[in-house]
Amino acid sequence: MGENTLPEQIAMQLRRQILHGTLRPGATIKERDNAADLGVSRTPMREAIRILAKEGLVELRPARSPVVASPTLKDVTDAITVIVALEELSGKLAVEHATREEISEIRSIHERMQQGYDQFDHVERFEVDMEFHMAIARASHNVALAETHAAYLRRMWRARFLSARTRRNRERVVRQHGDIVRGLEERDTDLVAVSIHAHLGHLLDSIKVAFADAPDDARPAEENETIPEAADAK
Amino acid sequence: MGENTLPEQIAMQLRRQILHGTLRPGATIKERDNAADLGVSRTPMREAIRILAKEGLVELRPARSPVVASPTLKDVTDAITVIVALEELSGKLAVEHATREEISEIRSIHERMQQGYDQFDHVERFEVDMEFHMAIARASHNVALAETHAAYLRRMWRARFLSARTRRNRERVVRQHGDIVRGLEERDTDLVAVSIHAHLGHLLDSIKVAFADAPDDARPAEENETIPEAADAK
DNA sequence: TAATCTGATTTGGTATACCAAAAATCGTTG
DNA sequence: CAACGATTTTTGGTATACCAAATCAGATTA
């Protein structure tokens, strides 16, 4: 489960806390405290924070405490606009270059999601969905594209996570994923493009709804809401 | 001239050295030595190296010395493929959202390049070209897009730099840039898209030629070719 | 002579100490 | 009582010390 290097392990811890909501958007991340909590020194904690900053999950400002990013609705829609472009390109290239093995792997991910949809909790469902999209990007055989795409998905993790609570999408999601897989199998560029477009269009809609319902990421969670740890006596 | 934070200043120094060729692709970057050379400690040097790694100019491998990236031709062409998609999206969004001020700023950059083309050395010419493309991305009013695009341009800096030595492209580059500007002014999505596509297509061609001529970035410059500094007596 | 093993050295990873700037606290003053 | 200001505290930035892994060199051996 643990990544290779220490900073990455720490980054994963923090990432989970952010995604889970333990670290709320707007909260400050104090190097010393968090490092002490995890039993490491500031140095790897600093690096971990930079990793998260690269992913867009935390915001760095010079000489100030880093804060958990509070993406606005526009931030999210902008990012999705880029993701659409990246995935359309992925789809086009995958149609051209994907091997049969890669496509059948994509299908198997799709079927795993289809079968397990109801048993999975929304976190698992979510991770499978992410796997699906990343496998397509990888099938483009364009490393840079796959990496950039993955970076965007990570950045959107929380927003997508919040919007994925509704379970009603089951049929639509499964159908759209199925269309994409079929498009790849039949090397049908247009079908893939259209399906991806529709799929992400619905994602955008549900994110908008989520923001309207509970603008979680909009509210800066002001005040000293750092890490919820037992404050030891001074 | 100097950026804000120390690590960024150091990163800029290293970046220039890499771009200029003082640090050849494949060369190892030793934290201690380089830090000492610049008169700083390892800590900000480490951060600077991470910045460059994020930009794709150096490659990090765990527990080993970082090396200056040696992008293969495929790496470069892959990246350009992504840049094309990003710039086409930029163009489309800029046509929709750019203000008149932004468009006229883009035109002024274009004219600056047009007039100064022959006086500029290829570094300056190059920087103006980069300004031009980044201004378009910014005019999309999509921050994420502009940032990702800028990151890609930085990553391609050296490859584009190497390919830009030929001065013969003058008319074509100027004409294509002019077409793009006109497309923006006339809010002509198709003209913009076509011009961008053609423009980057030629970039790709000249990069391929550059790689064939002198596969500079292909040759790993093996052996201890770190920093060309006077070795002080041990 | 070439391959390999072993010890010395280099080098990145981590912890820690110190500093300066930012922030918070509290007292002062209009 | 509110607003401002000085002082203390907190916190990120930098330098340095220490460690373990990786690399390099030299010697030993087949």
Q: Return the CATH number at B30.
A: 1.10.10.10
A115 in contact with B at a CB cutoff of 8 Å? no
pLDDT attached to residue B230: 35
Question: Are both A94 and A197 inside the same structural domain?
Answer: yes
> Average per-residue pLDDT in chain B?
86
The number of domains in chain B is 2
**Residue B223 counted as domain residue:** no
Q: Same structural domain for residues B56 and B77?
A: no
pLDDT of residue B209: 85
Q: Which of B68, B86, B116 is the last residue of a domain?
A: B68
Do B152 and B82 sit in the same domain of this protein? yes
User: What percent of chain B has pLDDT above 90?
Assistant: 59
Residues A134 and A185 in one domain: yes
Does B106 have pLDDT greater than 80?
A: yes
Residues B99 and B177 in one domain: yes
Does residue B205 register a pLDDT over 90? Answer: no
Neighbouring C-alpha atoms within 13 Å toward the C-beta of B19 = 22
For residue A32, the SS3 value is helix
Lowest mean pLDDT among A56-60, A111-115, B122-126, B160-164: B160-164
* Residue type (1 letter), B231: A
Strands (E), chain A: 58-59, 67-68
Q: Does any domain span residue A25?
A: yes
Report if residue A89 sits inside a domain: yes
pLDDT (0 to 100) of residue B135:
97
Q: Which residues of A146-169 are buried (b: 16+ CB within 10 A; e: fewer)?
A: bebbbbbbbbbbbbbbbbbeeeeb
pLDDT digits (tens, 9 = 90+) for B2-29: 568 999 999 999 998 988 788 999 999 9
Cα separation, B15 vs B78, whole angstroms: 22
Alpha carbon distance B149, B134 (integer Å): 8
- Does some domain include residue A220? no
Same domain, A125 and A183: yes
Q: Do B154 and B109 fall into the same domain?
A: yes
Q: Domain check: are A84 and A140 in the same one?
A: yes
Kindly state whether residues A80 and A64 are assigned to the same domain: no
B75 contact A CB<8A:
yes
**From first to last of its 234 residues, what are the pLDDT tens digits of chain A?**
556 899 999 999 999 898 878 899 999 999 999 999 999 999 999 999 999 999 889 999 998 999 999 888 899 999 999 999 999 999 999 999 999 999 999 999 999 999 988 888 777 888 888 899 999 999 999 999 999 999 899 888 777 766 765 566 788 889 999 999 999 999 999 999 999 999 999 888 888 888 887 655 444 443 333 333 333 333
Tell which residue, B77, B98, B173, B89, has the closest CA to residue B129. B173
pLDDT at position B215 is 59
| Spatial separation of the C-alpha atoms in residues A112 and A84, rounded to whole Å | 24
Q: Which residues pair with A59 in a beta bridge?
A: A67
| A226 occurs within a structural domain | no
Q: Identify the domain boundary among A52, A68, A84.
A: A68
Contacts with B223 (C-beta within 8 Å, 6 or more apart), sequence order: none
Domain membership flag for residue A143: yes
Nearest to A144 among B43, B47, B82 (CB): B82
The 8-class DSSP code of residue B28 comes to B
What CATH number does the domain containing A190 carry?
1.20.120.530
Q: Which residue has the higher pLDDT, A231 or B36?
A: B36
Q: Tell me what pLDDT residue A124 has.
A: 80
| Range in A50-54, B43-47, B101-105, B114-118 the model is least confident about | B114-118
Which of A82, A93, A143 has the CB atom closest to B145's CB atom? A82
Tell if the CB–CB gap between B75 and A47 is shorter than 8 Å. Answer: no
For B58, the 3-state DSSP assignment is: strand
Q: pLDDT, tens digit, for every residue of B207-222?
A: 888 888 765 544 444 3
> What pLDDT score does A210 carry?
81
Q: Is the CB of B43 under 7 A from strand C?
A: yes
pLDDT (0 to 100) of residue A190: 95
Residue B168, CB, less than 7 Å from strand C? no
Are β-strands A58-59 and A67-68 bridged in parallel, bridged antiparallel, or unpaired?
antiparallel
Residues of A within 8 A of B73 (CB-CB) are none
User: Which residues form the domain of A134?
Assistant: 73-213
My answer on whether A61 and A81 are in the same domain is no
Cα–Cα separations (whole angstroms), residue A183 to A78, A143, A221: 27, 22, 44
Is B112 a member of any domain? yes
**Residue B61: pLDDT above 50?**
yes
Element (H, E) at B137: helix B122-139
Tell me, yes or no, whether A36 and A93 share the same domain.
Answer: no
Nucleotides on strand C lying under 7 Å from protein C-beta: 10-17, 21-24
The whole-number Å distance from A228's CA to D14's C1' is 29
* B82:A4 CB<8 A: no
Q: Name every chain A residue with its beta carbon within 8 A of the beta carbon of B152.
A: 144
Distance from CA of A13 to the nearest CA of B (A): 20
Let me know if residue A233 belongs to a domain.
Answer: no
Tell me which of A20-24, B61-65, B134-138, B176-180 is least confident.
Answer: A20-24
Same domain membership, residue B194 and residue B90: yes
**pLDDT score of B127:** 82
User: What angle in degrees, to the nearest 10, is found between the helix axes of A73-97 and B73-97?
Assistant: 140
